[in-house]
Amino acid sequence: MVPPVKRKGTHDELLGSVFEEQASWHQGMIAGKSPFLRGPYLSMYVQKPWTIRQYSGFSTAAQSNEFYKKNLAAGQTGLSIAFDLPTHRGYDSDADEAVADVGKAGVAIDTLDDMCALFEGIDMGQVSVSMTMNGAVLPIMAFYIAAAQRQGVEEHQLRGTIQNDILKEFMVRNTYIYPPEASMEVVAQVMEYCTHKMPLFNSISISGYHLQEAGASTAQELAYTLADGWAYVRAAQEKGLSVDDIGPRLSFFWGISMRSIDEIAKLRAARVLWCRIMKLMGAKNEKSWALKTHAQTSGWSLTAQWPKNNLTRTAVEAISAVLGGTQSLHTNSFDEALALPTDDSARWARNTQIYLQGEAGLTRPIDPLGGSYLLEEKTLSLIDEAWEIITEIEQQGGMTQYVLAGTPKKSILKAAAKTQAQIDAGTYPIVGVNEFIAHELEKPHLRYIHLDEVLENQCNRLKEHKLKRDSALCAQSLTALKKAALDKKTNLLEASVVAAQNGATLGEISEVLVQVFGRYQPEPTGVTGVYQAELKTQASFIRSVSTGESWAKKNGRKPKILLAKMGQDGHDRGLYAVAAALSDQGFEVKMTPLFQTPEQVGYMVQNWGADLVSISSMTNGHGALVPALCQWLKKLGLGHVKVILGGIIPESDIDSMKAHGVDLIFGPGTDLTSAAQDIYRLLNEDIKND
């Protein structure tokens, strides 16, 4: 018999004895029974296997639509849509802030016409659609609803999920628009609208995936994600919704790493903990107690070195998700550490799931590893560890306040820096990166998108759209949306649907709300000492520190390096890891806020007196942004400042970047002690030349 959940005095002091667990673990050995240890449904995959989804979207709506239809014809059973960064951040494709990112990390959606093109020939009343959208959730949901209506599909027929999980954006992903309090109001109003008008549609998918990708430990991912869910339920209650109004339609989204036992245990622990939370909140409906989830194999675990190894990594992670009991699954393509997936690599990824459903026999038993001593012990350990973190969050006033204090972001940054240090020290093994290193690099065929054509196409479509719409009617609906934001008498999604139908663009809808709520821009805060703690005895680290001390002695100060993110890319794990590593190896490090322009970065270099500027690029924005920065440095008389570029940089771009003035380029998986030594050599060459 499985032992009872471990409970500590602090839990009881905070929450009393509301949650009764005396019989739950025995009952939980049956799938579909509280607390759902073995799965949320009685028969699990025996009658209905998990939904096969592929998260995809690129360039234009028409190109993405063609890709979706091929995937659906080849066995995919639901759509999972990726939007480009300007769309996430509430900018139209013709905005100055958007120019470097249009269509690069997802599909550009500016108007209702774009959304209609995205679903051309796809029955929106039949296909389940998952949309990863948070900051610009109002215009995207409005376009989706209005596009369905154009197809003759009513709101109550739509099936799927909108992510609508803004709290994790403030912790890690950074595709927010408005400040936290206003953003939570938007979340609650979307939940309110969907509850009343879209009974088959899940109005929120609470995501741990992005926390894991940013470096969170398993317990952190569990605790922060479930605490986010708790905060969203409270926000819905403030709108007059009961726990059982929304509970059955909440869903979750977890990342699945290479740590198999941890991941299987995590999904089982999540179900038990969510059941506990919902009972504490007074839920009576068993469907409210049951955590349902989507899962995605890790993007961070994909390596640019030996990319076909990623086929095996994805298969291992997919098996873990299935053994953990996911309800739908996305498997990453092997080439995604280098570029957007090709049709061929996406087929390999999708077929991985088809093999598991059709050949591996994993759909026949329920909870195949249930009863394993190792797995049960790990599950119990994670439950206890995560609950302690959740208890601390509750004591601080809940997750919204916890996020505002910056505590979870700082904790995740420390965990990520520690992992990077362990990779560089060789104590965290990654095949092809720090062990069994390939001497001959594979060069797979990669998807190439004509980005200038995408930008031109979107801008032309926007221009035509604005010419043909009724401008007066559009302006009237935007005024009504602003009034709804100010007086809170009309649901914001309801007002956004009207604006979308009357021709308002995504950027216009977002900007009206920015006028009311403001646009959020936090200052970066790094961590120090973590990298040093892991590598202080490593010869390479000691050598870097010694070189830094020598440089500082000669120059009377430490070398100054400005770390910058330009464009709309909010991925900042690499930025913070580099900051932590270089700080501990003798550099004076300063980070820019996110979403900077080349001009802004140039002036920061000038004002701070930086010796080097390092640009982090994850979504191919460097093609336009880095040359512009180099031009600004020359214009400001800063041609002597060394320029470094790091991140996902296609080999085909390297010569071009160097021709524009980039001095060093570091790709994914770079050892940061080696990188520090390369940077010191670059600085010392200047001394020799002088």
Q: Which of 33, 104, 418, 571 is catalytic?
A: 571
Crossing angle between the packed helical segments 137-151 and 506-517, to the nearest 10 degrees? 140
Q: How far is CA 479 from the centre of its chain?
A: 32
End-to-end CA distance of the chain: 75
Q: Is 571 a catalytic residue?
A: yes
CB 502 within 8 A of CB 476: yes
Single out the catalytic residue among 41, 45, 55, 232.
55
CA–CA distance, 333 with 339 (Å, rounded to integer): 10
Residues 6+ apart with CB under 8 A from 13: none
Is residue 565 part of the annotated active site? The answer reads yes
Question: Can 428 be counted among the known catalytic residues?
Answer: no
Beta strands in 511-586 (DSSP E): 560-564
CA atoms within 13 A on the CB side of 313: 28
| Cβ burial 585-620 (10 Å sphere, 16+ → b, else e) | bbbbbbbbebbbbbebbbebbeeeebbbbbbbbbbb
Which residues make Cβ contacts (< 8 Å) with residue 73, sequence separation at least 6?
none
The residue from 292, 378, 414, 565 that is catalytic is 565
Ramachandran quadrant class, 234 (left: phi over 0; alpha: psi -120 to 50; beta: rest): alpha
- Which one-letter DSSP state was computed for residue 45? G
Q: What's the CA gap between 668 and 341, in Å, rounded?
A: 17
* Residue 647 dihedral angles phi and psi, to the nearest 5°: 125, -150
Catalytic residue among 45, 68, 209, 680: 209
Between the alpha carbon of residue 373 and those of residues 15, 322, 327, 380, 404, the distances in Å are 29, 19, 25, 11, 40
Please confirm, yes or no, whether 569 is among the known catalytic residues.
Answer: yes
Say whether 55 is catalytic: yes
Active site annotation includes 279 = no
Options 94, 110, 424, 569, the catalytic residue: 569
Active site residues: 55, 209-210, 565, 569, 571
